[in-house]
Amino acid sequence: MTSVYDLLREACGLSQQEAADYHDVRLDSIKSWCSDRRQVPVAVVAQLQELMRAIELSAEKFAAEINPNYDQNAFIIGVPIEDEDAEACGFPSIAAHHRAIAIAMSRLPDGAAFKLVDRTRLQLYPTPKMKTGASQMRQNTQPIHRDLPNPMPGGFQSVVNSRQRTQAEVDRALFRAENGAEFKGAMQKTPAGPQVSYTISADIGNSTSVMSDIRLFGNEPDALLWLDQVAALYGFAKYPIEQRQ
């Protein structure tokens, strides 16, 4: 049986390596999520859900705007032949771009004739285009939590005392900024309010581990405050935040 992650990955037109690049994690992490050896983070699944919706939206917009070529009695649709063109159109892979084209064709009238033409630098035939969110660095508004070396063996602790840190505290220390972890935030406007999420990725052993969460808030200030508080807890004074469509 396929996993939730693998089903969504394939539906989005991503190879395992392309998925690793898309989530900015190691290929080992993708393989473990695909095989269900490790539980996939909620925010990672949310990324693929959003990608699928964006692919479908780009296809429907394209289908609504394209006009037939009356000289050839067909809809002329450009197909990317290189990764750079698909990426320039906002897609993470050629296969994802192909999926948008196929969806657009399904939205056009039954019996319509289609002609697929390779897009080149000299002839950029009409094709679906997907909007991508722009990431900006956000300066954290919250005081940063600083961890001090643990005088006892086994990790870090926020206050130096006689007790050894618990395993949960040691694990959390692995995701801290000073230990090389990366924090990324994202915000998307929904009818119910802003939805925000974060992912913290850290190289642990031979694979990349990811910690994530996603929340829905009634207003943007509360959403940003929550992101800042989480980032501050893990020692991030600033972090990129992506405004998603």
Per-residue pLDDT of 123-163, as tens digits, reads 889 999 987 666 688 899 899 877 655 544 455 545 555 55
Same domain, 199 and 168: yes
Same domain, 64 and 160: no
Same domain, 114 and 8: yes
Asked, for residue 124, whether it belongs to a domain, the answer is no
Same domain, 103 and 10: yes
Asked, for residue 59, whether it belongs to a domain, the answer is yes
Same domain, 34 and 102: yes
Asked, for residue 151, whether it belongs to a domain, the answer is yes
Q: Could you list the residue range(s) of the whole structural domain that residue 235 is in?
A: 134-244
Asked, for residue 17, whether it belongs to a domain, the answer is yes
178 pLDDT more than 90? no
Residue-wise pLDDT tens digits, 23-39: 888 899 899 999 998 88
Same domain, 81 and 149: no
Question: What per-residue confidence (pLDDT) applies to 101?
Answer: 96
Grade residue 165 by pLDDT with cuts at 50, 70 and 90.
low
| Tokens (6 digits) for 104 | 């657009």
Domain count, the chain: 2
